[in-house]
Structure 1
């Protein structure tokens, strides 16, 4: 039965800390919070990371044991790469293979370094011989050519037709057919180069699809887990199956009446049956299709009863809250609830993050954000294993206990909402640490290879390190695009509310990874379009916006405020045009972003247009400069009081 795809949020191979690694956390929490946070955590895991949900590359479901990114404790041998949400690739011994099809015991891969419609391959160029995880499957059927020994050809496999076009041969039937299951001239574990000794120079390969006599081109690789691996154990109701081609390798197979992958770190084995001609598992086997309406009504009544009982219990516990007990989302509960969450997220202790950030020292500080009665700060840190991270420390300064408890629940719901978003420009979250007593919330992000936008601007200004305009413009466009996505493609929309250059992380290729979202509800006031306007001006000037910059903008003297490291007057005319247009866009964000007259989609569209616009002849620069200097927008700014645009003091 096909399963929906698992949504992504956390991207860390680290497991939740084991009991031996848990240090006592200094803050304390009442018992109501321990229960309610457990319930929230349970609902979050149940809704978002069911361990039975496969990962996906676009619409392609990825079965166990394969995985994307660093979200599994299994060997790197099963790690896949997803390209453009449409193609999956497996790397074995530095050679990359495109995956065409998944089987329960293997994968069908394309011939490496070939065009899509090439049917024959040189035997000498395909030297794959397997390892402890993969080997050439005996299910492959070969079409050999230019062989000196015709005894290789087996007539009993020629009745299998091939798919036409790129998947097979237009002729429909092979010429010299040899099934690897024959074993007379090839043994499991061998390389296909074994056929070279018979004078064969080339081959084509295909596999007969299940319940079909049609062959699909490609090479099937059998997978297995080494018997000496810590994962070479099967779940309940599963049997160990020895691999055919992978030496000393095993797989797990669910017994009759059960379905699943058979591994305890996967979905295990679920009770199955045939229902309406389809194999189903779990409660579907016991559902009476004639009493479906009654079952639905009963389920509704039971659900309502459970919800009311849970609410009454929570209210009772709220009244009995004791501030001397510390918050601990029980690790054992995490393990029992969802193995998938255990593999993908990590619950940190306070001491782990304190050590990683050197006691949250000022030297590790990346950016401050003080708003209303909460303070959010980003710190650089190094975990025990050497992994670099960014820790967002959010402090709640409410004196009222009831307000503090309500705010903490709001923060958890905000984290849950953010956790459901999967986008290449969202910062990868490794895990979190929450404590209700002290009002501390820590969100742990993957460390950006190139730091933050603020870091790069500072280095360009103070250390004369090159940070070219085209790169700044690309960062601006990507930032606007991810914000537009969050505003208009997510329901309900997600707003950052604290956008600044220190929250824009930069990956190894300077691609944007947005983090540092405002978590406290009452502090979510700053408009994202307005915040992006400040960031755009910071990209142009190299500094956080000041009132002197505002005066220059009013007078149309953009060149006087451009970051000196950009060497404005030495740049090509079209770059100078782009800088001026972005400065103009930034002022519009400041003027019209706060009241909603300018939306993030409009800003993103304009930045993309600027970035993709081809260079213009030098004459256009003068005309644009005159237009910019005399624009009605700048006249509007010059006639407006300073208070119409809020400028933070340095």
Structure 2
């Protein structure tokens, strides 16, 4: 301790000055000052906290609505639904908030509707980043909606091909099931061949041939490059989308099926669109890759004729385009069926390519599935026809692909039906009975 003695004596503190203000009055004034100060501080702190809390709450709500979530590695399973979506192999699918899609489509406004089918409606949507998308909303009254939804997500999440439409994500909210796809600016092939777009945007033959080739390549990819293979089961012109460059994008895999490895077919109840369904599949209940080939043959007939696959205004036997197409070939009148916009009378090279594609379509529409080429052969043949067109020489013979040649194979196909039958669709058939109708029991 310090030595206080050495520091000298400690003086007393000075006495406080006397005040004239009474002690009680002074204490009350000080208490009032402290009270006012506390109230002011409390109000400031409370206001600041309230404003900050409100801002944080608004920000969190805003982020919740705007930020999609990546699909988790485990199965996605909402409490409001028993559906289970398989894990996405590439982790690229997004799970969308329902309110986000509702806002993107202007509450699913009818003016935003791009089209509808038997199972769903499709709406144009605009996401927060300005990207245009096609939002597919499944109908509530579709008894198979759960299976189709899960099936489409499972299949599309594993595909990667430039001519297959891209699935961006999905939404599963209460009873609502929605799929979000990339938007195809030029609509569907059907729009350009039969719809209102036909008058304003006529498709040139070169564009039609490209669309046919790209669609064939996409189907060949599904049949031969995917393990297990995938059968589309609903190939038609309204399921072929066209982007800004008129590149084909095959869409709508709700009815598609995975084929077990080493299986020759799938036994299943026939489904599809009237006018496109394979008659062999319709009668035998056996779905094979040749069923997609038949449907594609109808699409080729549409590209050549610009006529609908089914038209009830035609006479009863020709309601189905497949019947009409083969009938015209039998009578040597295919030129009557060719779309006038192709101007084959003044464009001999186009005429030659059209007739060669017609040869291929005829083979695809064979009643016997074993007489049809597979999609890899179809794609190769279309590629050769395109090269033929580029060469600009009508005398050039098409090269073979794995011993497949349109004219030669057609000759073999027709030879056992009627000896001496014409081998080219440009020749006149002896009678309408020289080959079986491609759909003799009526369109399905």
| The one of 138, 144, 153 aligned to 1:415 | 153
Question: For the structure 1 residues 387 and 552, does the alpha-carbon distance in structure 2 shift closer, same or farther, using more than 3 Å as the test?
Answer: same
| The one of 275, 278, 293 aligned to 1:529 | 293
Q: Encode CA deviations 1:122-179: one digit per residue, 9 max, x unaligned.
A: xxxxxxxxxxxxxxxxxxxxxxxxxxxxxxxxxxxxxxxxxxxxxxxxxxxxxxxxxx
Paired residues of 1:366 and 1:502 also in contact (CA < 8 A): no
Q: How does 1:456-495 map to 2 (within 5 A)?
A: 456-458=192-194, 462-495=198-231
* Matching residue of 2:392: 615
| The one of 32, 39, 44 aligned to 2:87 | 44
Question: For the structure 1 residues 643 and 427, does the alpha-carbon distance in structure 2 shift closer, same or farther, using more than 3 Å as the test?
Answer: closer
Question: For the structure 1 residues 610 and 365, does the alpha-carbon distance in structure 2 shift closer, same or farther, using more than 3 Å as the test?
Answer: farther
* Matching residue of 1:34: 78
1:604 Cα deviation from its structure 2 partner: 1.3
| The one of 485, 498, 503 aligned to 2:234 | 498
Q: Encode CA deviations 1:472-491: one digit per residue, 9 max, x unaligned.
A: 10110111011001101111
Q: Encode CA deviations 1:193-245: one digit per residue, 9 max, x unaligned.
A: xxxxxxxxxxxxxxxxxxxxxxxxxxxxxxxxxxxxxxxxxxxxxxxxxxxxx
Q: How does 1:99-248 map to 2 (within 5 A)?
A: none
Partners of 2:136 and 2:215 in 1: how far apart?
Answer: 19
| The one of 140, 165, 168 aligned to 1:430 | 168
Partners of 1:646 and 1:40 in 2: how far apart?
Answer: 40
Paired residues of 1:345 and 1:431 also in contact (CA < 8 A): yes
Partners of 1:610 and 1:645 in 2: how far apart?
Answer: 32
Paired residues of 1:432 and 1:444 also in contact (CA < 8 A): yes
* Matching residue of 1:156: none
1:535 Cα deviation from its structure 2 partner: 1.3
Residue segments in structure 2 that go unaligned for 5+ positions in a row: 1-61, 69-75, 258-268, 278-290, 312-317, 398-406, 408-421
1:493 Cα deviation from its structure 2 partner: 0.6
- 2:437 matches 1:393: no
SS in 2 for 1:569: coil
Larger Rg: 2
Compare relative contact order (CA 8 Å, sep 6+) and give the higher one, 1 or 2. Answer: 1
TM-score by length of 2: 0.59
Partners of 2:375 and 2:253 in 1: how far apart?
Answer: 17
Residue segments in structure 1 that go unaligned for 5+ positions in a row: 1-16, 24-31, 50-340
Partners of 2:111 and 2:333 in 1: how far apart?
Answer: 37
1:629 Cα deviation from its structure 2 partner: 3.8
Paired residues of 1:378 and 1:516 also in contact (CA < 8 A): no
495-504 vs 473-482, which moves further: 495-504
SS in 2 for 1:463: helix
* Matching residue of 1:444: 180
* Matching residue of 1:19: 64
1:552 Cα deviation from its structure 2 partner: 2.8
Question: For the structure 1 residues 431 and 367, does the alpha-carbon distance in structure 2 shift closer, same or farther, using more than 3 Å as the test?
Answer: same
Partners of 1:36 and 1:599 in 2: how far apart?
Answer: 44
| The one of 356, 359, 365 aligned to 1:581 | 356
1:354 Cα deviation from its structure 2 partner: 4.2
Q: How does 1:556-595 map to 2 (within 5 A)?
A: 556-571=332-347, 573-592=348-367
SS in 1 for 2:392: coil
Partners of 1:453 and 1:473 in 2: how far apart?
Answer: 12
Question: For the structure 1 residues 22 and 509, does the alpha-carbon distance in structure 2 shift closer, same or farther, using more than 3 Å as the test?
Answer: closer
Partners of 1:523 and 1:647 in 2: how far apart?
Answer: 13
Paired residues of 2:334 and 2:425 also in contact (CA < 8 A): no
RMSD in angstroms over aligned alpha carbons?
3.9
Partners of 1:523 and 1:22 in 2: how far apart?
Answer: 41
1:353 Cα deviation from its structure 2 partner: 3.4
Paired residues of 1:365 and 1:378 also in contact (CA < 8 A): yes
Q: Encode CA deviations 1:386-439: one digit per residue, 9 max, x unaligned.
A: 42212233336466xxxx6xx62564254223211112222122211235x64x
Question: For the structure 1 residues 463 and 442, does the alpha-carbon distance in structure 2 shift closer, same or farther, using more than 3 Å as the test?
Answer: same
- 2:258 matches 1:514: no
Paired residues of 2:152 and 2:253 also in contact (CA < 8 A): no
Paired residues of 1:348 and 1:431 also in contact (CA < 8 A): yes
Question: For the structure 1 residues 369 and 583, does the alpha-carbon distance in structure 2 shift closer, same or farther, using more than 3 Å as the test?
Answer: farther
Question: For the structure 1 residues 610 and 351, does the alpha-carbon distance in structure 2 shift closer, same or farther, using more than 3 Å as the test?
Answer: same
- 2:378 matches 1:603: yes
TM-score by length of 1: 0.42
- Structure having the higher helix fraction is 2
Question: For the structure 1 residues 514 and 462, does the alpha-carbon distance in structure 2 shift closer, same or farther, using more than 3 Å as the test?
Answer: closer
Question: For the structure 1 residues 20 and 428, does the alpha-carbon distance in structure 2 shift closer, same or farther, using more than 3 Å as the test?
Answer: closer
Partners of 2:213 and 2:116 in 1: how far apart?
Answer: 24
Paired residues of 1:415 and 1:519 also in contact (CA < 8 A): no
Paired residues of 1:461 and 1:564 also in contact (CA < 8 A): no
Partners of 1:394 and 1:627 in 2: how far apart?
Answer: 45
Partners of 1:559 and 1:500 in 2: how far apart?
Answer: 23
* Matching residue of 1:640: 436
State the aligned residue count: 311
Question: For the structure 1 residues 398 and 381, does the alpha-carbon distance in structure 2 shift closer, same or farther, using more than 3 Å as the test?
Answer: closer
